[in-house]
Amino acid sequence: MSNTSAWQIFVWVALPYLALGIFVVGHIWRWRYDQFGWTSRSTQLQERRLLKWGSPIFHYGTFGAIAGHVIGVLIPERWTRAIGIPESVYRWFSASAGTLAAVLIIAGVVILAGRRLVVPRVRATTSPVDYITLVLLLVIILTGVVPTIFVNLLGHGYDYRTTVAPWFRGLFSGSPDVTAIASAPIVYQVHAASAWLIWAIWPFSRLVHAWSAPLWYLWRPYIVYRSREATPPAEPGTSGRRWRKIGVPY
């Protein structure tokens, strides 16, 4: 570790752990103190034509990408082989499905971000954290998919398993290999760093709405009754206007 600078230590060791810590503590804090701010903060009322395309494309693309990562990471190769899927088919499927998801997400983010910039009504409701989120998402997906397409499919190939992967695994075993990641091409570095950053931003952005996916709706009775009940007074410091500080530009 002789030739690692303090900056490198910060980006490749401190940042990931910090981001994870902020992610966990931030969510606990926000869940407890900011139920009122926990929302998708829809802007469909203000603008619907662009949202009609941007939002579904983006979300379905994101779900595709998440599913792809889950399949790729969790399902071992021998399983797919056991049910008779040859390696080449699997590769072809994952490459094309992955590309499709990437294209959808990129198109979606571009539409959503463009809409936030250009449509005055939406722009007026946009807080800095909205821009940061969208830009980070765009950067992550671009730096994730560009090398896959240009380097691995069209170019000479690059094996990130010798640089990014050891560092990444090291983070979880407590000895991240900083030199390895520091020597990776810049796209991979940007991808990794911005991916960690978005975890840190997550609890303070509208992204928290993802945890509230209302699947329960499929089972619950249509009409909800509630009886008036005695509610304990709010915890000290939890009332007041605190929630306004998150995600609201005005």
Partner 1 sequence: MRIMAQVAMVMNLDKCIGCHTCTVTCKQVWTNRPGTEYVYFNNVETKPGVGYPKRYEDQSQWHGGWTLDRKGRLQLKAGSRLRRLLSVFYNPDLPSIDDYGDPWTYDYQTLINAPAGTRNPSAHSISALTGRDMDVKWGSNWDDDLAGGPDHAAGDPDLAGLSDQVKLAFEQVFMFYLPRICEHCLNPSCVAFCPSGAMYKREEDGIVLVDQDRCRGWRFCVSGCPYKKVYFNHRTGKAEKCTLCFPRIEAGQPTICSETCVGRLCYLGLVLYDADKVLTAAATPDPRDLYEAQLSVFLDPDDPGIQAEATRQGIPADWIDAARRSPVHALIARHRVALPLHPEYRTLPMVWYIPPLSPVTDIVHAAGYDDDTPDQIFAAIEALRIPAEYLANLFTAGDPGPVQRVLRTLTAVRAQMRAEQLGQDVPERLAESVGATRTDLADLYRLLAIAKYDERYVIPPAHAEDAGRLMAQHEQLFCAQPGGPDSFHPPAAQEFRDDGGRLHLNLSPQGQS
Residues that bind partner 1 (CB under 8 A): 35-48, 51-52, 55-56, 58-60, 120-121, 123-125, 206, 209, 212, 214-218, 220, 222-230, 247-248, 250
Q: Which is nearer to partner 1, 27 or 123 (CB)?
A: 123
Distance CA 158, CA 24 (A): 34
| Piece in contact with ligand HEM (CB under 6 A), picked from 29-37, 88-96, 182-190, 203-211 | 203-211
14 touching ligand HEM, by CB under 6 A: no
Smallest gap from Cβ 107 to partner 1, in A, equals 14
Query: String of b and e for 176-207 (b: at least 16 CB within 10 Å)?
Result: bbbebbbebeebbbebbbbbbbbbbbbbbbbb
User: How many chain residues interact with ligand HEM (CB under 6 A)?
Assistant: 17
Smallest gap from Cβ 40 to partner 1, in A, equals 4
Using DSSP's 3-state secondary structure scheme, residue 188 falls into helix
Residue from 182, 183, 185 nearest 150 by CA: 185
Distance CA 174, CA 138 (A): 30
Distance CA 49, CA 29 (A): 36
Smallest gap from Cβ 99 to ligand HEM, in A, equals 19
Residue ranges in contact with ligand HEM by CB under 6 A: 40, 42-44, 51, 55, 59, 62, 112, 116, 133-134, 206-207, 209-210, 213
